[in-house]
Amino acid sequence: MESTDARPLRPDDAAGLTHLSAEAGWNQTALDWRLILDHGAGEGIFAADGQPLASACRVPLTRHSEWVCMVLVTPGARRRGYATRLMARQIAAIEAAGRVPGLDATELGRPVYEKLGFRPLFALSRYRATRPRWPVDSAPGIRPLTADDLPALAAYDAAATGGDRAFLLDHLLRRLPQAAWVASEDGQIRGYALGRDGLKASSIGPLVADTPAIAIALAAAAGLAIAGPTVIDVPDAAAGLVAMLEAAGFVRERGFTRMVKGTDAALDRTGALYALAGPEFG
């Protein structure tokens, strides 16, 4: 028997929840669940033995929006309305705080979100390579990111993407420091890349830059520091970066749709965003 009551998720649920995401073939580790539950919130439905059956969470993204993420239902409990119910509660909490809910939907998630009033903004794709062949040309103005850069980095990110996510930048710098790079010119930040280890692959992102050339150089610098399978989630509009990734051996694995319920101008365009922190972080 299971209880169909939802209860708030706690940081110490992270290890159990990792089974739910791993079962769906996702890349998150217990550290990612921890980060989401430490800085955001979520609810879950659990079986009598404590195994999680369903989850939905939210994390801060911009000044005006919160990101809905980790909407997962174990295959044996699908089509019972769990995702819709848990989502509705996340949406209500976000809207009650005067914010706009946004998300990056998988193909399975999109019909659930359309019914809940989300509209599509733009398309993104996940690219994967087992052993990428990155271009090794050194690019001027690119150097490793350090903790001293974090205040200026948060300000750059806020101006370039509307992001209000200093907690995430700080976490990723500590999580995979070798993948953290910054581009600067005359002391001004012109772009940055961060990365993260994962269950099945390491990922590059966020990747934010003033120009496509800077984004390409930063992606290569971050990528060269990562050994083994690598993924990166790129807006389809970033054609130059996609061409470089394909030349480096990346293959498109699946698509996502950025969706929003309401309006947040910061989410409407890809602009300086060349790679997501991941669909769960925007």
Ligand X SMILES: CC(C)(COP(=O)(O)OP(=O)(O)OC[C@H]1O[C@@H](n2cnc3c(N)ncnc32)[C@H](O)[C@@H]1OP(=O)(O)O)[C@@H](O)C(=O)NCCC(=O)NCCS
Closest-by-Cβ residue to ligand X is 109
Nearer to ligand X, 108 or 251 (CB): 108
Residue placing its CB nearer to ligand X in the complex, 38 or 107: 107
Among positions 242-281, residues that touch ligand X (CB under 6 A) are none
Under 8 Å between Cβ of 258 and 223: no
Nearer to ligand X, 46 or 82 (CB): 82
# residues near ligand X by CB under 6 A: 18
Cis (ω within 30 of 0) for the bond into 206?
Answer: yes
**223 contributes a contact to ligand X by CB under 6 A:** no
Which parts of 130-213 are beta strand (E)? Answer: 142-144, 181-185, 188-196, 202-209
Binding-site string for ligand X from residue 161 to residue 200, where x marks contact by CB under 6 A and - marks none = ----------------------------------------
Q: Looking only at residues 72 through 131 of this chain, which bind ligand X when binding is defined by CB under 6 A?
A: 72-73, 78-84, 105-106, 108-109, 111-112, 115
Query: What are the contacts of 186-194 at 24+ separation with CB within 8 A?
Result: 189/149, 189/152, 189/153, 189/156, 190/141, 190/214, 191/215, 191/218, 191/272, 192/145, 192/153, 192/156, 192/157, 192/218, 193/218, 193/219, 193/221, 193/222, 193/275, 194/145, 194/169, 194/222, 194/277
One character per residue 24-63, x = contact with ligand X (rule: CB under 6 A)? x---------------------------------------
Q: Which residues bind ligand X (CB under 6 A)?
A: 24, 71-73, 78-84, 105-106, 108-109, 111-112, 115
